[in-house]
Amino acid sequence: MSHTRTCLQLCFLLVFLSYTVQRVNGVWPLPQQTEESAERYTLSPQLFSFTYGTDSAVKVGCSVLDAAFKRYFSIIFPDFADASEPHPVWSQFKGFGVSVSVKSSGCDGYPDEDSDESYKLSVSEGQALLRSVSVWGALRGLESLSQLVYQDDYGSYFINKTQIVDFPRFAYRGLLLDTSRHYLPLHAILKTLDAMSYSKFNVFHWHIVDDPSFPYQSRSFPDLSNKGAFHPFTHIYTQTDIRRVIEHSRMRGIRVVPEFDSPGHTQSWGKGQPDLLTPCYKGDVPSGSFGPVNPTLDSTYNFMGRLFKEVKSVFPDSYVHIGGDEVSFSCWMSNPNVGAFMKKMGFGKDYTKLESFYMENIMNMTATLNKTSIVWQDVFDYHERIPQDTILEIWKGTTAQYQAEMSRMTKAGHRVVLSAPWYINHISYGQDWRYSYAIQPQNFTGTEEQKKLVIGGEVAMWGEYVDATNLTPRLWPRACAAAERLWSDEAKTLNTDLAFPRLVDFRCKLLRRGIQAEPLFVGYCRHEYNGL
């Protein structure tokens, strides 16, 4: 009888232990290749260290990785408040070292379109070996390592024996924030950048100005924000703010691509820059309202040239988004001076030719500044003469429509960024992340060479109904679906039912890291959001 009771107690203990040490659901986004063993190792914060490998081209003093080691120590051991304070160490704990070896030097630069984000990670008893070509790949590997660590109900930390070979499917994995329709405080942008790094996004598309407000504080044209921002002191981004965003991004391997959209979406510009916008007419007299940028005046191009010269000096990335979407022609059509210019240029009554004239001038301007232009798809649709290196961003249409657009664009030899299916400012009841997850960016009619011209995709969070109060829960974890589609092997990640428990687990990780990610369905996280 006692023997039976002992067996039952032992079985219960084993079941209890298997429950309390819940296995982690791996890494999000899913690595290209993963081998994980049931063999696990206990980690002690006091006996855990990051070091540079003896063959590493970067050493102590590398700004990006020195900061990352400190950041990821806190992420891996969230309960370990201060490593400098004495904590009891159990004798059975063994030391664990993470050795990072980077093949190429370069810690002080910025990530770019050619950055190598690949890495290899090997976890075994007492050590993890992380190897990468660049520091940007090392950052991705550190993120994956951090997600492999898990805790039991008693607070002990574990990691399993693991082998990972990983690299991104697409080089451009972007997220757009709109800071014109609602001003987003700096802390909200920085927190978004943190969350982006957890999902391996690598491009912050900063739609910084638009019709409602002009929060960018220009050195050359201070009246743009003085008169065009919601408030000239509290609702602006100073040059110091922008440098902080760019540096915060750099330290996480994220590029900052600013957008200054014109000739439409510029109502706020006109408040601080006289004669920039086109006066609208009612009959033979001005109506008092204004339309898009006036493309007929030399002063317009002088202004835009000076503005983009400043943008080049402020934003180090080689890309700049110059917009070109949703231009209403009604104001141009009403203005007799514009009509006379159209006649002089031989454009007839085709106002798409006038927009083409303007956009071609802006694209030539940015090319002179050695910037690669990104434009919205409207510019291509108007059959404008687009420089071959211009990147086209698709933002509208049904699945069939944007697939046909991708076929046309890539056939013309242009690189493409897909955003249309990932406008996640649109919300619906239920698990709409499943739709985002099912998108296949290269599923369109075209050759293999055409499909290689799809350089990635972008999640867009437009700001009509979004500010700092709801930005984070509306973005996360819904944006994570696109993050995995853009990083991982599509063939391994098309099943949303298999992805669901992994995404639930990752959402809980985000909560633990202070990201207020909304729930995916009924359930709980062991560590609920605590208001950090």
Catalytic residues: 326
Q: What's the distance, CA 145 to chain centroid?
A: 20
Tokens 């514009």 correspond to 338
Nearest by Cα to 44 from 12, 73, 5: 73
- Single out the residue of 335, 362, 364 nearest to residue 351, CA to CA: 335
Rounded Cα distance between 253 and 345, Å, is 46
| Dist. CA 187–CA 204, nearest whole Å | 15
Task: Give me the phi and psi of 105, to 5 degrees please.
Answer: -75, 170
Residue 496 burial class via C-beta count within 10 angstroms: exposed 0-12, middle 13-18, buried 19 and up: middle
> Which DSSP state fits 476?
T
Q: Which residues contact 417 (CB under 8 A, 6 or more apart)?
A: 172, 174, 374, 391, 392, 393, 394, 454, 455, 456, 457, 458
Helix (H) or strand (E) holding 354: helix 351-368
Structural element, H or E, at residue 351: helix 351-368
Q: Are 183 and 213 in contact (CB under 8 A)?
A: yes
Place of tokens 């290689």: 452
Which residues are CB-contacts of 37 (< 8 A; sequence separation ≥ 6)?
160, 161, 162
- The contacts of residue 31 (CB under 8 Å, 6+ apart) are 144, 164, 165, 166, 488
